[in-house]
Amino acid sequence: MGVDYRVLQEAAKWFAVLQSGAASPGERQAWAAWLQQPDHAQAWARVERISGQFQPLASDAIGRSAGAMLHSRQPNRRQALKVLSVLCGGAALSLAGGSLPWRQWAADERTAVGEVRDLRLADGSQLWLNTDTAVDIAFDANARSLALYRGELLIDAPASRRARPLLLSSREGRVRSEQAARFSLRQEDGRTRLSVFTGVVDIQLDGFAIASVGAGQQAEFDRRHVAPLVAARAEHQAWATGVLLADNQRLEDFLAELSRYRHGYLGCDPRIADLRVVGAFPLGDTERVLDALAATLPVRIERRMTWWVSLEPAAKRVDA
Amino acid sequence: MATEGMVRQQMLHRLYSDHHGWLNGWLRRQLGCSQRAADLAQDTFVRVMTKDEDMGAIREPRAYLHTIAKGLLINHWRRRQIEQAYLDALALQPELVAPSPESQALIVETLLQIDAMLAQLPAKVRRAFLMSQLQGMTYAAIAAELGVSERMVKKYMAQAMLHCLLLVAED
Final residue before a domain boundary, out of B92, B117, B149: B92
- Determine whether the interchain pair A113/B169 forms a contact, defined as Cβ–Cβ distance below 8 Å: no
Residues B150, B126 within the same domain: yes
Domain boundary among B44, B62, B92: B92
Map residue B85 onto helix, strand or coil: helix
| Rounded distance between C-alpha atoms, residue A187 and residue A194, angstroms | 9
- B121 and B39 assigned to the same domain: no
B105, B73: one domain? no
**B85 and B138 in one domain?**
no
B105 at A interface, C-beta within 8 A: no
Nearest to B89 among A3, A65, A77 (CB): A65
Q: Are A179 and A196 in contact (CB under 8 A)?
A: no
| B114 contacts on A by Cβ (under 8 Å) | 53-54, 57, 67, 70
* B124 and B105 housed in the same domain: yes
Residue A72's pLDDT is what?
67
The beta-carbon neighbor of B133 closest among A11, A51, A75 is: A51
Residue B149 contacts A where some CB pair is shorter than 8 Å: no
pLDDT tens digits for range B24-36: 898 888 877 777 7
- Do residues B129 and B157 make contact, with C-beta atoms less than 8 angstroms apart? yes
Quote ipTM for the complex: 0.72
A151 forms beta bridges with A187
Does residue B140 sit in the same domain as residue B71?
A: no
Residues B2 and B77 occupy one common structural domain? yes
Predicted local distance difference test score (pLDDT) of residue A83: 36
Which of B77, B94, B137 minimises the CB distance to A132?
A: B94
CB spacing of B162 vs A113 below 8 angstroms: no
| pLDDT digits 0-9 by tens, B82-139 | 887 787 777 776 655 667 777 777 788 888 888 888 888 888 999 999 999 888 888 9
Residues A97, B127: C-beta atoms closer than 8 Å:
no
Residue A189: the pLDDT is: 87
CB contact under 8 A, A12 and B103: no
Query: How high is the pLDDT of residue B52?
Result: 66
Residue B146: the pLDDT is 92
B72, B3: one domain: yes
B79 and B155 housed in the same domain: no
Both B118 and B62 in one domain: the answer is: no
- Compute the distance between CA of residue A93 and CA of residue B43 in angstroms, rounded to an integer: 35
What residues in A contact B95, CB-CB < 8 Å?
A: 110
The 3-state DSSP class for residue A100 equals coil
Q: Clarify whether residues B85 and B1 are in a common domain.
A: yes
The number of C-alpha atoms within 13 Å of B12 and in the hemisphere containing its C-beta is: 18
Task: Determine the residue of chain B that is closest to A53 in CA distance.
Answer: B110
Within 8 A by CB and 6+ apart from A157, the residues are A123, A125, A144, A166, A177, A180, A181, A182
Chain B hits for A73, Cβ within 8 Å: 115, 118-119, 123, 126
Do B74 and B116 fall within a single domain? no
Q: Which of B71, B92, B113 is the last residue of a domain?
A: B92
Q: Among A16, A53, A120, whose Cβ lies nearest the Cβ of B136?
A: A120
Could you state, in chain order, the average pLDDT of each consecutive group of 10 residues for chain A (320 residues)?
82 93 88 92 90 79 76 51 32 28 47 87 88 84 82 90 83 90 94 94 82 92 89 90 87 94 87 90 87 89 80 66
Q: What is the CATH number of the domain that holds B110?
A: 1.10.10.10
On the question of pLDDT at B162 being above 90, the answer is yes
Summarised one tens digit per residue, pLDDT across range B71-81 is 888 777 777 77
Domain residues for the domain of B111 are 101-169
- Confidence tier at B169 by pLDDT (50, 70, 90): low
Cα(A120)–Cα(B124) distance, integer angstroms: 23
Extended beta strands in A66-143, E state: 107-110, 117-120, 126-129, 134-139
The one-letter code for the residue type at A126 is Q
Q: Are B119 and B110 in contact (CB under 8 A)?
A: no
- Mean pLDDT for B140-165 is 94
Q: Find the closest chain B residue to A103 by CA distance.
A: B136
How many domains does the structure of chain B reveal?
Answer: 2
